[in-house]
Amino acid sequence: MDFSLQTLVDPEFLVTVFAAIVTFATVLTLVGPLFGGNKFAGRLKSVATRREQLRKRNREALFKKTNLRGESKGFMTDVVSKLNLSTLLEDTALQSRLLQAGLRGQGPIMAFYFFRLVAPIGLFIFGLAYLFLFNDFGKPPMVRFAIAFGMLVAGYYAPGIYIDNIAAKRRESIMKAFPDALDLLLICVESGMSIEAAFGKVAAEVGVNSIELAEEMSLTTAELSYLQERRQAYENLASRTNHPGVKAVATSLIQAEKYGTPLGASLRVMAKENREMRMAQAEKKAASLPAKLTVPMIIFFLPVLFVVVLGPAIIKFQQLGS
């Protein structure tokens, strides 16, 4: 039992396990899309659920009720409610950050506050136990306590970093297909379709390139149908995507809705600007590629090059010396 416990806390064993997990995750990431099904239908189903929520909210507004009262509460919700974590660990921008990550409803909010409480405590206890009971790495107690405290701070910010990472990947997927979606939206509007029908048509067509963009446009279609002010639907779209190009399009649609200006001309200009923005982003990434390749070349290419060039000379010099 002692031998197995010592093996489990051995740094070399932990590094080996971590490397195995990273390798498995990499293989799973590369192979997963080949075996994964089409998630477009599932995303549209979630949008339909959101549409039903909007309809239910409008009904309940007539009776001055709220949809959040009386719902069945899970373990995380009970913990957050009893400890009042939503006030103690309040994050004013949490709702918008979750929407940008594609997480809606009260479940993700409760999960965020729950893990913001549990993650720091768990990492702090794990750090103290490992550094003081199993392996001190030759460090004094104050240094080990500082490392454990650093793990506590990292655990506090870890949920927010995770959400921001999801939101960034989602925003990148949306912006890759957004200029093409604007072109299709322009065609639909100029053909005589209403803006709701145009958004719905584009959402159905653009799902092949970006499920996230199709989801957002379907949700905008639902909000255009059920929200009291149409401008609120456009503002919600801009807030959920958090991208200058989408915000400019939303502002243009709001102005066209308010002043009655033609949508075709505005969408044509916005589509051109977003294509130029996408091209500028691609050029920016291409320009930063040499700087990013410098470190991998120094680490992986130069040592091999030195071995190939200097190896025969060193061997010959040793032979002459002997």
Please tell me the predicted confidence (pLDDT) of residue 55: 61
| Domain assignment present for 70 | no
Say if residues 101 and 166 touch (Cβ distance below 8 Å).
yes
Is 215 domain-assigned? yes
Distance CA 90, CA 27 (A): 38
Establish if 50 belongs to a structural domain. Answer: no
Residues 6+ apart with CB under 8 A from 237: 216, 217, 219, 220, 246, 250
Q: What is the mean pLDDT of the chain?
A: 79
pLDDT at 237: 87
Q: What pLDDT, on the 0 to 100 scale, is given for residue 63?
A: 44
* pLDDT-wise least confident of 27-36, 73-82, 191-200: 27-36
What percentage of residues in the chain have a pLDDT greater than 90?
Answer: 2
**239 occurs within a structural domain:** yes
Which pLDDT score, from 0 to 100, does residue 52 have? 64
The pLDDT of residue 193 is 84
The whole-angstrom separation of Cα 211 and Cα 170 is 9
The pLDDT, as a whole number, for residue 66 is 35
Residue-level pLDDT at 311: 83
Assess if residue 180 is contained within a domain.
Answer: yes
In a domain, 204, yes or no: yes
Secondary structure, 3-state, the chain: CHHHHHHHCCHHHHHHHHHHHHHHHHHHHHHHHHHCCCCHHHHHHHHHHHHHHHHHHHHHHHCCCCCCCCCCCCHHHHHHHHHCHHHHCCCCCHHHHHHHCCCCCHHHHHHHHHHHHHHHHHHHHHHHHHHHHHCCCCCCHHHHHHHHHHHHHHHHHHHHHHHHHHHHHHHHHHHHHHHHHHHHHHHHHHCCCCHHHHHHHHHHHHCCCCHHHHHHHHHHHHHHHHCCCHHHHHHHHHHHHCCHHHHHHHHHHHHHHHHCCCHHHHHHHHHHHHHHHHHHHHHHHHHHHHHHHHHHHHHHHHHHHHHHHHHHHHHHHHHHHC
Among left, alpha and beta (phi > 0; psi -120 to 50; other), residue 192 is: left
Q: How far apart are the C-alpha atoms of 114 and 94, rounded to whole Å?
A: 13
Q: Is the pLDDT of residue 307 over 60?
A: yes
Residue 308, domain member (yes or no): no
pLDDT for position 76: 80
236 found inside a domain: yes
Distance of alpha carbon 109 from alpha carbon 22, whole angstroms: 29
Q: Report residue 212's pLDDT band, with 50, 70 and 90 as the boundaries.
A: confident
Tens of pLDDT along 110-158? Answer: 888 888 889 999 999 998 888 888 877 788 888 888 988 999 999 889 9
Q: How far apart are CA 140 and CA 237, in angstroms?
A: 53
Q: Measured between alpha carbons, how far is 90 from 164 in angstroms, rounded to an integer? A: 17
Model pLDDT, residue 34: 59
pLDDT for residue 30 is more than 80: no
Give the tens place of pLDDT for each residue, 159-203.
889 998 998 888 888 888 888 888 888 888 888 888 888 888 888
Instruction: Over range 289-316, report the average pLDDT.
Output: 83
- What range defines the domain where residue 242 resides? 174-284
Residue carrying the six token digits 């009291």: 228
| CA–CA distance, 272 with 201 (Å, rounded to integer) | 21
Burial class (CB in 10 A: 0-12, 13-18, 19+), 116: buried
Rounded to an integer, what is the distance from CA 70 to the centroid of its chain?
Answer: 31
Report pLDDT for 2. Answer: 47
- Give the number of other Cβ atoms within 10 Å of residue 117's Cβ: 20
Question: Across residues 79-105, what is the average pLDDT?
Answer: 81
Domain count, the chain: 1
Residue entry with tokens 């700087």: 291
pLDDT at 22 > cutoff 80: no
User: Are the C-beta atoms of 238 and 247 separated by less than 8 Å?
Assistant: yes
Mean pLDDT calculated for residue range 17-25 = 75
**153 or 20: whose pLDDT is higher?**
153
With 0-12 CB in 10 A as exposed, 13-18 as middle and 19+ as buried, what is 230? middle
More confident residue, 213 or 321: 213
